[in-house]
Structure 1
């Protein structure tokens, strides 16, 4: 049913009263202390001798009234095993796949997917977080309602599933598979399959707590045989082993695709659910296995559409989409051919393998529609990291050694920014981490703009334009919420990138074949995937790649390096059970705290005992300013204006500090309503702060975001003065923080900041600013520093100085998606 709500009251929080928690969630551990010690030992991956030593130490301590009953490692292990049955255990099964007429046996470990999701549906904490109905959400933009898409249930594929299961609820699974290197040198590998539930919000689904990603299978790995490797027959055999394994994994869901399955949920109500798999998250190589195409060497190497290999460089053309019906029909026709050569020829017409696809399941799973654009491997580690970046390095190195040095120096000089890697060198270094490639992409245009001269290095400069266009596409791909407008803008950015790349290929002499690779082409499907399945964080492989780390840790610290699958999976299951108990323990503690506060006349049981976010707890001593927007921290001693001037005699920004602050205060009506203000030079009226937290509403997802800003002469052994966006009477400007303080005026304190404004008009900027999408701002002379109220700071900003024009700075719009949209909307307006 369509609903219209005021945006100020719109919320998705579940308003149900939380259930009364289990008072002993640690059972069958004999006490809570037993569980917490075993939990700590498991999290630390302690060895058997270490656990025995820990237990001996605890027994020597009798200070706590709570009994400690664990005796040794064996007792810990037995108790873990006893409690593990609370959640769905894994199954071990042998599968057989023929090769040369002889059945080959492999061991498969897997969990029952249906039982696992039923565990979540029955959970009184996770169950209420599920969303079962499609939502078509729109936000009023001042003129009209604009649809926006974020979670899978706001996108088209979820709607299709719901329409097809009238009077029932769709239950959506996200599946990921990829090999993981367990040993340091990659000799020992595992093959986990990770599942997530698309009905849960991204904050839970992509997390590591109960309700987040779960290893649901451990696929067999076919050992390479030098005499067989690379041959089509052996490659088909490995694919057959994979699909035979997945057939077993999906069996429990396949049985319910026609009539669904009834589940008694957390609220004791029976609901009918129909499972389906709208998203397969995988890198390109794994997508080839899932779709059973021949991959890079095939005539049609895209797993989603039938683009010819020689047309992969073009991003503007569209090609017929692959369908399950066509692939099944083609395989049947090929197998009716009388010779192997004719069979192969028929299959090559769509680059398919002669293997039955276990992912072609009507209603449950359409493999070609479920495969998704993967931002991590396609953009950061693929098109950018392995191609555009290599190509740019070539042009820079050809320019000369000084050019490469300038790039490294530019990255080293870039101001530090939260969640952005800081590099001392990037040239000549190969990174294995996709996040590092992403962060290089975010800064490279701002660093390299003056290294490649458009008159001298015409092709290299054109490549830099291509990279800027690619950065725009990647930032649109990163948006946490998409509207129809941002989708249209993203498609336009992709078209501009394609146009510039076509120009670069034709003018640089670069052969087309060098750009005919799948990871160049796959962006064609990016925005269609977002419309169908929600934003890219729903199907990006990054959260799943992160899940490899604990598996590797378990291998290195909790196995004997023999028959490791059983040991790793047992440790992973214990981790899940441990998180399940910890979730309940935390809830019990909060419940008891609220109950105690209520008994003492404090807040009621439905309020939160501590609403402080985890990030706030680790910031320096926050000083409340009476506003949610701004918080100050890292308090220094109270001082006088005279002392501040004396401490900064060499800094022009502090010249006439006394006169300027009195003048500023006397321009504020609310301060001067009782007469003229005159702060005394020697009175202790100023308290310096070196940290500022700015809370602001993100333009992307309409949620509260935070910037953690520093204004300190020494932060981690280096000065750090961050930049900010400031709202003034004349408009919105950028500026650098110089001094943050609380000023005492009479009986009232006002949080203020001394800033170095960057608001000098620039009538005609360089042409390269337009070519490279650069937003240039120019700083006033430092002596023209200004005072502002801290409340006027909107958020932080990253400004990178133009080496070729000291005093000019570039607004780095790629630091996050909110800043990206800010610049896209206002760069060409008079607002800034």
Structure 2
């Protein structure tokens, strides 16, 4: 019958198409790869829609240290100001690290001393954080109780500003476990740095809409006012006057938490004028340091040399602009291209914001200057000493002899900087230049500089930017911390 024939042809056509499709399709479809299909066959996890993904993430977030909300209040001029914030509990995160079985063999529980025996000479070397002398002093000061072992677990705190938009800035706080190897804690995987929270930016409560002055002169004055008062003793580690920051051979008087507390307590008992003089001579203000309240800590000893900002981006700003000319850029263009070496076509006209760029310039600049400046030019010799200092500071491991030679180079570098000041009107009275004097102490007490580098934290800036771009740009902090919790759960 016509009707039955039509129905039979429709069924035959349908079976023919289905048979042809199943023959050409891959057996593991709809998975793109065979290994994905095998993995899915042994798992009980499946996602059908967006809600399934969110429910699974919510369950996975409980396996990590989650953010919690809190607030602090302060009374100013009779008005109570409340600041709300979200944070991860550092103690819970620390317990999560030390109880992780995958990190048990990588944790450095106690300090060690390392020596190199070569050609009959024995020298001490410093690489990991527990090879420094400071860990030994802290370990010796811990309580010695039978059945209750004590150990020192250092932490690396990083805080900086992130420009996530033209008018929006975030201030992430990153905490890294210093008791893990640098290759682990500086990475983004298990045992790496973790986001503790975002620092609240507190404005001036005295400024209101009624008394705000938007005139050009007022804005200019406010700009300099917010930069803060230039301290007579700007170094956070020692008491050196701001007029002597260029001197790299002067004996230093180190700051300690105990001494600063005594000076602060003494100033509180004096009248305003006398108290101001006592505090000014110690580089203090009549405001108690918040870090003093942390038990078993010393912020002056914890402060470490920053290779990225103090050396790579700090010293160069005061030297590189001297030989700026077309010939230097032409010489840099002729430098052969090399793997992992950045090539510069206009080296004197680039605004260098990347510390790695300064490192690459330092490797090539001396040959590029030989036909521009005289052989006795302080600029060439200054760059040569900078290359030596940068190489020693970046060594891992670094030996006792290396540190001693670094100290011997500092007076020579000071003499060259003095010549640059006289011939090119340069000013070396700035803190980053002075910080070079503290680097040998850090190398001995905290070992190589990669133990307290800020490069890992700088890499987190991109994650903050990416997380911000995933928000709706309104009340972004809860959304950003939720994104970070999801990333920690997936990792």
TM-score by length of 2: 0.84
Q: Is the 8 A contact 1:392 1:464 kept in 2?
A: no
- Shift in CA distance, 149/334, structure 1 to aligned 2, threshold 3 Å: same
Partner residue in 2 for 1:568? 480
Alpha-carbon distance between aligned partners in 2 of 1:550 and 1:434, rounded to the nearest angstrom: 19
Of residues 422, 425, 432, the one that matches 1:510 is: 425
Alpha-carbon distance between aligned partners in 2 of 1:462 and 1:373, rounded to the nearest angstrom: 26
**CA deviation after TM superposition for structure 1 residue 223, in Å:** 4.0
**Residues 682-761 of structure 1: matches in 2 within 5 Å?**
none
**CA deviation after TM superposition for structure 1 residue 488, in Å:** 1.0
Partner residue in 2 for 1:533? 446
Are residue 172 (structure 1) and residue 125 (structure 2) matched?
no
**CA deviation after TM superposition for structure 1 residue 554, in Å:** 1.0
Alpha-carbon distance between aligned partners in 2 of 1:363 and 1:64, rounded to the nearest angstrom: 54
- Shift in CA distance, 101/417, structure 1 to aligned 2, threshold 3 Å: farther
Alpha-carbon distance between aligned partners in 1 of 2:46 and 2:315, rounded to the nearest angstrom: 57
Of residues 159, 170, 173, the one that matches 1:193 is: 173
- Shift in CA distance, 336/391, structure 1 to aligned 2, threshold 3 Å: farther
Partner residue in 2 for 1:213? 193
Of residues 36, 41, 65, the one that matches 1:88 is: 65
- Shift in CA distance, 437/99, structure 1 to aligned 2, threshold 3 Å: farther
Alpha-carbon distance between aligned partners in 2 of 1:61 and 1:539, rounded to the nearest angstrom: 43
Of residues 417, 420, 427, the one that matches 2:348 is: 427
Show CA shifts across 1:585-619 (max 9, x none). xxxxxxxxxxxxxxxxxxxxxxxxxxxxxxxxxxx
Of residues 314, 330, 334, the one that matches 2:263 is: 330
**Residues 228-307 of structure 1: matches in 2 within 5 Å?**
297-307=230-240
- For the residue of structure 2 that corresponds to 1:368, the secondary structure is helix
Show CA shifts across 1:705-753 (max 9, x none). xxxxxxxxxxxxxxxxxxxxxxxxxxxxxxxxxxxxxxxxxxxxxxxxx
Alpha-carbon distance between aligned partners in 2 of 1:540 and 1:472, rounded to the nearest angstrom: 19
Of residues 408, 411, 425, the one that matches 1:495 is: 411
- Shift in CA distance, 117/467, structure 1 to aligned 2, threshold 3 Å: same
Q: Is the 8 A contact 2:117 2:123 kept in 1?
A: yes
Q: Is the 8 A contact 1:381 1:434 kept in 2?
A: yes
Alpha-carbon distance between aligned partners in 1 of 2:201 and 2:287, rounded to the nearest angstrom: 17
Q: Is the 8 A contact 1:149 1:534 kept in 2?
A: yes
**Residues 357-368 of structure 1: matches in 2 within 5 Å?**
357-361=289-293, 364-368=296-300
Partner residue in 1 for 2:18? none
**CA deviation after TM superposition for structure 1 residue 219, in Å:** 1.1
Of residues 132, 147, 150, the one that matches 2:109 is: 132
TM-score by length of 1: 0.50
Alpha-carbon distance between aligned partners in 1 of 2:479 and 2:30, rounded to the nearest angstrom: 27
Alpha-carbon distance between aligned partners in 2 of 1:216 and 1:419, rounded to the nearest angstrom: 33
Q: Is the 8 A contact 2:417 2:428 kept in 1?
A: no
**CA deviation after TM superposition for structure 1 residue 153, in Å:** 0.4
**CA deviation after TM superposition for structure 1 residue 136, in Å:** 0.5
- Shift in CA distance, 132/381, structure 1 to aligned 2, threshold 3 Å: same
Are residue 554 (structure 1) and residue 467 (structure 2) matched?
yes
Alpha-carbon distance between aligned partners in 1 of 2:424 and 2:355, rounded to the nearest angstrom: 29
Show CA shifts across 1:274-299 (max 9, x none). xxxxxxxxxxx9xxxxxxxx77x110
Show CA shifts across 1:333-380 (max 9, x none). 2233344x5443332122213222221257631000110111111112
Q: Is the 8 A contact 2:65 2:89 kept in 1?
A: yes
More strand per residue: 1
**CA deviation after TM superposition for structure 1 residue 416, in Å:** 2.2
Are residue 352 (structure 1) and residue 284 (structure 2) matched?
yes
Q: Is the 8 A contact 1:551 1:572 kept in 2?
A: no
- Stretches of structure 2 lacking an aligned partner (at least 5 in a row): 1-28
Alpha-carbon distance between aligned partners in 1 of 2:61 and 2:294, rounded to the nearest angstrom: 35
Alpha-carbon distance between aligned partners in 1 of 2:73 and 2:387, rounded to the nearest angstrom: 47
- For the residue of structure 2 that corresponds to 1:463, the secondary structure is helix
Are residue 542 (structure 1) and residue 474 (structure 2) matched?
no
Alpha-carbon distance between aligned partners in 2 of 1:60 and 1:522, rounded to the nearest angstrom: 56
Partner residue in 1 for 2:370? 449
Q: Is the 8 A contact 2:153 2:179 kept in 1?
A: yes
Partner residue in 1 for 2:361? 440
- For the residue of structure 2 that corresponds to 1:333, the secondary structure is helix
Alpha-carbon distance between aligned partners in 1 of 2:353 and 2:419, rounded to the nearest angstrom: 30
Partner residue in 1 for 2:4? none
Of residues 260, 282, 302, the one that matches 1:370 is: 302
Partner residue in 1 for 2:6? none
